[in-house]
Amino acid sequence: MTTTSDAPRTEGAAARPGSAGAAGGAGRPPRRRMSGLTRGELAVLGGCGLSSFLFVWLILARLTDGIGRLGWLVAWYAVFLAMVYVVTWDTLGRKAAADRVAATIIRTGILTLILPLGFLLVYVLVEGLPALRPGFFTDDLSGVTPEMPASAGGGLHAIVGTLEQLTLALLWTVPLSVLTAIFLNETRSRFRRPLRILVDAMSGVPSIVAGLFVYAALIIPLGTGFNGFSAGIALSIVMIPTVTRTVEVVLRLVPNGLREASLALGASRARTVWSVVLPTARSGVTTAVVLGIARTVGETAPLLFTSFGLDLLNANPLKDPQESLPLFVYSNVQKPSETAAQRGFTGALVLITVVLALFAVARFIGRGRRSGGRPRGMRRPAKPQKGTQ
C-alpha cells in the first residue's frame, strides 16, 4: 500500500496538479546545478543589484547627507545580499537562499581579488609593451644615455643574471628541501620538532635579512665582493622554507598503503621513499619548486647586498656585480628619466612573462597521470582469446 508521505517533497515547492506522481518519479526535486549561473539567476542578481542601488541612492543621497564612498559601497552590498536572500527564499526556499547568498559572497571575493591583479597586468602591459623590441633580449645598457628613447639598449644582462642566480639557488634548494621534507615526514626522529620549528621560523624571516646575512658572513670576511654566486645563496635561504613546507605537505598526501605494500615486499625504508613515495609525489614536488621560484624571482632586497647590479653583461656569477630583472626594474623606475622608467616597466613585463612561462613548463612536466591512463612501465593487458570467458 502506497501512501502520499512516501513521495519526496522539496521545500517551498508544491506538487504539480495532474502529474502522474505514482507513475515513477513525479515528486522528485529538480536537479540543481552546482556550478554556473542560469539566465534566470543572472536576471535575479541583476534586478537585485539595480534595486539595491536605487534604494541606497534614495536613502543616502536624497534623504541624508551621505556617508562617503566606502560607506555607500558597504551599505549597497548589504542591501543587495538581503534582497538576494529574500527573493530566493520566496521562490526556492530558505536553504537555497542561504546557498545563493554564500555563492554570491564567494564570487564577490574572487572578483575583488581578480580586479586588482588584472589592473596591474594591464597597466604593466600598457606601459612596458611600447618599448619592448627584439633588441631588449640581445643588448645591454652599454652606451645608453638618458636622451635616448626607451627602446634603446636592452635587458640581456638582467635576464642572464636572473637565470644564473635562480639556477644556483635551485642547485642548493631542491636537494636540501626535499631531504629535509623527507626527514620531517618519513622518519620518527626526536629532532623533527626542532627542525620543523626552525623551518617555520625561517619562513617568517624578511628577505632582506638573508641578503644581510650573506653580506656579513661571506662577502665581507672572504672579500669576494658583490657577485651572482652570493645572490644565489641569499635566494636559496629565502626559497628553502617555502619548498620544504610544500614538499612536506605533498608527502603527507601519499597513501600509507603504498608504503606498507613496499615494505611488505621486502624493500627498505630508503628504497620505499626513493622508488614509491617520491615518484608518487612528483607533481607536487614540482609544484613546490615552482612556488619557491615564484617566491624568490621577484626579490630585490637580498640582491642589493649580494649582486648589487650592473648595467653591463656579466655572464660569470663568481666574479664582479651582476644584474637581475628585479634590480633592473628597481633601478630604472627610480631614475628621473621617463625613458628609463618606461624601460623599467618593460623589464617588469618580461619578468611577469618569465614567471608565467616557468609555471607553464613546470605544470607540463609535473602533471600527474591522465585520467584512465596507465602508470609508466605497466604493460597493456593481453586481449582475451576467442572462445574464452
Three-state SS annotation for 64-96:
CCCCHHHHHHHHHHHHHHHHHHHHHHHHCCHHH
pLDDT at position 12 is: 43
- Nearest CA-CA partner of 259 in 179, 286, 267: 267
Q: Do the Cβ atoms of 277 and 248 come closer than 8 Å?
A: no
Q: Which residues are CB-contacts of 383 (< 8 A; sequence separation ≥ 6)? A: none
pLDDT at position 27 is: 52
Enumerate domains of the chain plus CATH numbers.
Answer: 39-127 (no CATH), 156-365 (1.10.3720.10)
pLDDT at position 197 is: 93
Which position has the grid cell 508544491? 14
Distance CA 301, CA 163 (A): 17
Phi-psi region of 24 (alpha: psi -120 to 50; beta: other; left: phi over 0): left
Alpha-carbon torsion angle 175, 178, 180, 183, nearest 10: -120
Q: Do the Cβ atoms of 297 and 322 come closer than 8 Å?
A: no
Q: Do the Cβ atoms of 226 and 320 come closer than 8 Å?
A: yes
Residue 388, classed as helix, strand or coil, is: coil
Residue 378, classed as helix, strand or coil, is: coil
Q: Do the Cβ atoms of 183 and 244 come closer than 8 Å?
A: no
Grid cell digits, residue 300: 630585490
pLDDT at position 169 is: 95
- Nearest CA-CA partner of 309 in 281, 328, 334: 328
pLDDT at position 290 is: 85
**Tens-digit pLDDT profile for the chain (389 aa)?**
444 444 444 444 444 444 444 444 445 555 555 456 788 888 888 888 898 888 888 887 766 666 777 888 888 899 999 999 998 898 888 898 899 899 989 989 999 999 998 999 999 999 999 989 898 999 998 888 888 888 888 899 999 999 999 999 999 999 999 999 999 999 888 999 999 999 999 988 899 999 999 999 999 999 889 999 999 999 999 999 999 999 999 999 999 999 999 999 999 999 999 999 999 998 888 888 888 888 898 899 999 999 999 989 999 999 999 999 999 999 998 888 889 999 999 999 999 888 887 777 767 766 654 444 444 444 455 555 555 44
Distance CA 102, CA 114 (A): 18
Identity of the amino acid at 65:
D
